């Protein structure tokens, strides 16, 4: 079923798991991404940057996601990641995206609340979900770079007020992760996550998931992480496989022979991640 972020994170809350939010960097990736979720028995969030959505076409993304969700019998949410411009958000929602992230994390706290609230009002009126962000996540995402010295961790006190005043459906928090990190792993601040989880029941979101150690997944999930973003790992491995195939393929051989192995590499990563995200060794309900 083609559904919303709110619905799939409710499933995650009910089962004490997290839902993988995987960045589609081109249209060719999408069928195998969704088939991976089908084979693992999990919902999936397909997310795009604004640049990717424009490259493919907002309405094309929606049409393909809807059709694949129906054909493969998988709960699929289509999410616009890190949007800061109201026009981009409106275009995504009007085109049929079921979820958007408004990233006001670089703004003063009150301005972030006011602008996020406006997005929530429009999105909810049209049946879409909204993810907000508090604190600043390190690294580089679509050309936006945050230095380590400029990173701000999320305040539990701010979370309470932000969620109350905005009505967001999910909240991205800064607990030490970095966008674009794939050559090393970060130290996530689990004690801070626990503090945040104790003061809110809003679904929490990890950005920069490629740089998170897999052994930290259970602690993250058991403390409220219900959406887990993975993008760089997919991009790097798709490109590696495609480069190897293109280097060896005759120029008159169909392109699909180069692209299919890259898509399958992405599929296997997603299946592996979903297997961990399902948190099968932890109980459905975790004592607080």
State the chain's mean pLDDT as an integer. 89
Percentage of the chain lying above the pLDDT 70 cut: 91
Q: Are 8 and 75 within 8 A, CB to CB?
A: yes
| pLDDT the model gives residue 140 | 46
pLDDT digits over 236-258, tens only? 999 999 898 888 888 878 888 88
Q: What is the CA radius of gyration of the chain?
A: 18
43 occurs within a structural domain: yes
101 occurs within a structural domain: yes
The domain of 94 spans 2-277
Give the pair of three-digit tokens for residue 94. Answer: 């009007």
Give the pair of three-digit tokens for residue 61. Answer: 């993304």
pLDDT digits over 122-173, tens only? 999 999 999 999 987 654 445 444 445 456 888 899 999 999 999 999 999 9
Higher pLDDT, 40 or 231: 40
| pLDDT the model gives residue 138 | 56
For residue 140, is it left (φ>0), alpha (ψ between -120 and 50) or beta? beta
Angle in degrees, CA 176, 179, 180, rounded to 5: 130
Active-site annotation, residues: 81
The answer to whether residue 108 scores a pLDDT higher than 50 is yes
Q: CATH number for the domain including 134?
A: 3.20.20.70
272 occurs within a structural domain: yes
The candidate with the shortest Cα–Cα distance to 168, out of 206, 126, 133, 130, is: 130
Q: Are 174 and 135 within 8 A, CB to CB?
A: yes
89 occurs within a structural domain: yes
Other residues' Cβ atoms within 10 Å of the Cβ of residue 135: 20
Between helix 86-95 and helix 58-72 the angle, nearest 10°, is 40
Q: String of b and e for 2-32 (b: at least 16 CB within 10 Å)?
A: bbbbbbbbbebeeebbbbbbbbbbeebbbbb
177 occurs within a structural domain: yes
The answer to whether residue 182 scores a pLDDT higher than 60 is no
pTM over 0.85: yes
The total number of structural domains in the chain stands at 1
Give the pair of three-digit tokens for residue 278. Answer: 């399902």
Distance CA 39, CA 271 (A): 8
The candidate with the shortest Cα–Cα distance to 151, out of 142, 160, 140, 163, is: 140
Distance CA 288, CA 285 (A): 9
144-146/129-134 β-pairing:
unpaired
Laid out side by side, the sheet with 144-146 consists of: 144-146, 138-141, 178-179
- Alpha-carbon 139 to chain mean position: 16
The candidate with the shortest Cα–Cα distance to 282, out of 8, 15, 12, 9, is: 15
The candidate with the shortest Cα–Cα distance to 256, out of 48, 57, 24, 32, is: 32
Distance CA 278, CA 276 (A): 5
Q: Are 74 and 10 within 8 A, CB to CB?
A: no
pLDDT digits over 2-13, tens only? 999 999 999 999
Q: Is 247 helix (H, G, I), strand (E, B) or coil?
A: helix
288 occurs within a structural domain: no
pLDDT digits over 96-106, tens only? 999 999 999 88
pLDDT digits over 218-231, tens only? 999 999 999 999 98
For residue 64, is it left (φ>0), alpha (ψ between -120 and 50) or beta? alpha
């Amino acid at each position: 079923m083609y559904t919303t972020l709110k619905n799939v994170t409710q499933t995650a809350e009910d089962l004490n798991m997290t839902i993988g939010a995987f960045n589609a960097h081109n249209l060719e990736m999408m069928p195998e991404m969704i088939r991976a979720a089908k084979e693992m028995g999990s919902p999936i969030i397909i997310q795009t940057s604004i640049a990717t959505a424009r490259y493919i076409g907002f309405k094309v993304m929606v049409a393909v996601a809807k059709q694949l969700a129906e054909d493969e019998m998988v709960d699929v949410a289509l999410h616009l990641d890190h949007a800061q411009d109201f026009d981009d958000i409106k275009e995504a929602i009007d085109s049929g995206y079921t979820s958007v992230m408004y990233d006001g994390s670089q703004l003063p706290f009150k301005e972030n609340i006011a602008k996020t609230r406006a997005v929530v009002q429009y999105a909810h009126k049209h049946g879409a979900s909204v993810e907000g962000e508090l604190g600043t996540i390190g690294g580089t995402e679509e050309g936006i770079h945050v230095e380590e010295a400029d990173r701000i961790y999320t305040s539990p006190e701010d979370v309470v007020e932000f969620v109350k005043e905005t009505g967001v459906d999910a909240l991205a928090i800064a607990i030490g992760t970095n966008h674009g990190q794939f050559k090393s792993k970060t130290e996530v601040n689990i004690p801070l996550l626990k503090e945040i989880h104790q003061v809110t029941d809003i679904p929490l979101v990890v950005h920069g998931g490629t740089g998170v150690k897999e052994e930290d997944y259970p602690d993250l999930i058991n403390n409220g992480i219900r959406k887990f973003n993975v993008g760089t790992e997919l991009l790097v491995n798709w490109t590696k496989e495609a480069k190897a195939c293109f280097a060896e393929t005759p120029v008159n051989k169909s392109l699909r022979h180069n692209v299919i192995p890259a898509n399958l590499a992405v599929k296997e990563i997603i299946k592996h991640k979903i297997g961990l995200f399902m948190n099968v060794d932890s109980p459905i309900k975790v004592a607080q």
